[in-house]
Amino acid sequence: MLKAAWDLVESPVGPLMTVVDGEGRLVRVWFGNDWAGLGMPAAERDAARCAEVARQLREYFARQRREFDLRVAPAGSPLQQQVWRQVAAIPYGETRSYGEIATRVGGAAVARAIGRANGANPIPIVIPCHRVVGADGSLVGYGGGLAVKAALLRLEGARLASLGQLPLDLG
């Protein structure tokens, strides 16, 4: 079996480190280019094995792709997997609140767990956790930072009053 492979993709929000497993499934996207100490298994840099991920990310940033067609294998608990499926179903340019996701997954009893699961999403952008906002439409929490979250939502044409309050416009 092949080892995991990684490569860097330049993007308008900075470098993205992508990781595919031995079967070619996307398992991680990190903002930045340093994964030291992040608990990743041994991997080798291999642009060819990561080429499809890079192509689709570039198309997304060029506004030529609204949905990703990648095999993904995010590692997480059953609840996290359920949350990520709900998040992946949010259409391009739209948002859902944490409460709306909680209602679909298990009601108010899991509301806090929804935020934690969204924050633990190992494949941001592809599993579009940037589309999850506060109940009042406010931008809350994002692994890449709120400016990046705002930039991704602007790129998609999302309409939120809070978008204008943060820098980094992708054009």
Residue 171 has pLDDT above 70, yes or no: no
For 18-47, how does the pLDDT look when each residue is reduced to its tens digit (9 = 90+)?
999 999 999 999 998 665 555 555 778 999
Six token digits for residue 2: 């092949």
- Give the pLDDT of residue 2: 78
Phi, psi of 43, rounded to the nearest 5 degrees: -145, 160
> Which pLDDT score, from 0 to 100, does residue 37 have?
52
Tokens of 76: 């997480």
Structure token digits, residue 111: 């509301």
**Residues forming the active site:** 129
Band of the pLDDT at 169, cuts 50, 70, 90?
Answer: low
Task: Kindly state the helix (H) or strand (E) to which residue 16 belongs, with its residue range.
Answer: strand 16-20
The pLDDT tens digits for 123-164 are: 999 999 999 998 888 888 888 888 899 899 999 988 776 555
CA distances from 159 to 6, 32, 109, 131, 134 (A): 34, 27, 29, 11, 14
Dump pLDDT digits (tens) for 71-107.
Answer: 999 999 999 999 999 999 999 999 998 888 988 887 7
**Residue 64: strand pairing partners:** none
